[in-house]
Amino acid sequence: MEKTLILFLMLFSLPLWAVKDGKYRLELATQYAKIPFHLEFKNAGKVASILNGDEVITLKNLGSKKKNHMALEIPPYPIQLSLDFSGDKVSGFLIKASGDQVPLAGEMNEFLFYRTKKKPENFKGRWEVTDGKGEKNILLLEQLGSQIKGSYLTPYGDYRYFHGQINGSTFEASSFDGIYNYLITGELKGAELKAQILANYKIELIGKKNAEAKLPDPYKLTQMEKKLEFTFPDLSGKKVSIKDKEFENKPVIIQIFGSWCPNCIDELKYLIPWYASNKDRGIKIIALSFERTNDLKRAQMILSKISKQYGLNYPMLIAGFTAQDTPENKLQGLKNFKAFPTTIYLDKKHNIFKVHAGFNGPSTKEFYEEWQRDFNLTIDQLLK
């Protein structure tokens, strides 16, 4: 009787179905392009990941109440993949934080882009490109045979990772992380590169290779014209002020943040382990978050989730939680605010030392390394 009961419980504890292990090539349907990305399952379908260039994003399985369906969350954002499986095929939606649903579909396939026998031309290098508005930006391209990967850099932040395939004098590559979802195409015409970034928007790019290409000085884009003063609630509702005793006579890094902003998350992922190693030197960090919701409790929930996921070890305050709560409105003296994140450096007397607009993260390679060197030099200067 006992053995029968154990067998009964085991049978009913097993899933009714299992996703096949392997790579599914899915396409997200947007206005200007179908954006391909790989969703990979391992461990009998129990582990799901998005393969996004050099980045592997492990998803949270939210479960499902019906057979052949799976709901997966793309951390750290409140964004989901709602998927229905039929054999090797899958269809469903990307469900955004706003509730908007974007259709997607695909099937098991090891290849993200079709391969050809055309000899790949040389795309590798730093490209100075001009967009349709006349703004000069940078395309960083890496190449291994016919494989291509890279990032698109603007003065306000990077478009993170993309990867794809070269076909002679053209290439196709894609990015998918839940927020930065786009297809990028390029074509070489002599020394000139023409490219497009496609999603529900279209960015036309044209440029030439330039190993010395630079972006505008990020310290000259945004200004703080008076001494910074603020009091905002932390994630538990406790009021925190820059004038609190714990910040007295200590330099403070102010991180203007948003949970919806991938570049902010990349900066957060750098600052958390950095602070763990450097806080005993007498430096402080405060994150001021501006959330895109009218619901304070929802903002607290989202930020608490991020705090737990990454092990946040410095205060995060909710400075705004509506579209009207802009940094310029909430921080008196802040001028020409351009980008999330923006980092404000205060000296020991809390005078403005520097303001850094934007952030180019790990996908930007040498630009990210240069930022780290400059960041640590700035901290050394503040602590003198």
Give residue 66's pLDDT.
Answer: 86
Which residues have CB under 8 Å from 109's CB, separation 6+?
23, 24, 25
45: three-class secondary structure by DSSP: coil
Give residue 17's pLDDT.
Answer: 62
Unique residue bearing structure tokens 């079709």: 114
64: number of Cβ within 10 Å: 16
> Where is 255: in which H helix or E strand?
strand 252-257
Give residue 10's pLDDT.
Answer: 39
Residues of the chain with pLDDT under 70: 1-17
Q: What is the pTM of this model?
A: 0.93
135: three-class secondary structure by DSSP: coil
Give residue 11's pLDDT.
Answer: 37
The domains located in the chain, with CATH, are 13-108 (2.40.128.120), 125-209 (2.40.128.120), 223-382 (3.40.30.10)
* Bond into 233 cis (ω within 30): no
| CA 379 to mean position of chain CA atoms | 25
36: three-class secondary structure by DSSP: strand
Q: Is the dihedral of CA 205, 210, 216, 218 positive or negative?
A: positive
Report the C-alpha gap between 187 and 30 in whole angstroms: 22
Measured CA to CA in angstroms, residue 316 lies from 253, 271, 287, 298, 313 at distances of 12, 13, 5, 15, 9
Do the beta carbons of residue 196 and residue 184 sit within 8 Å?
Answer: yes
- The two tokens of residue 315 are 């205060």
Report the C-alpha gap between 317 and 269 in whole angstroms: 17
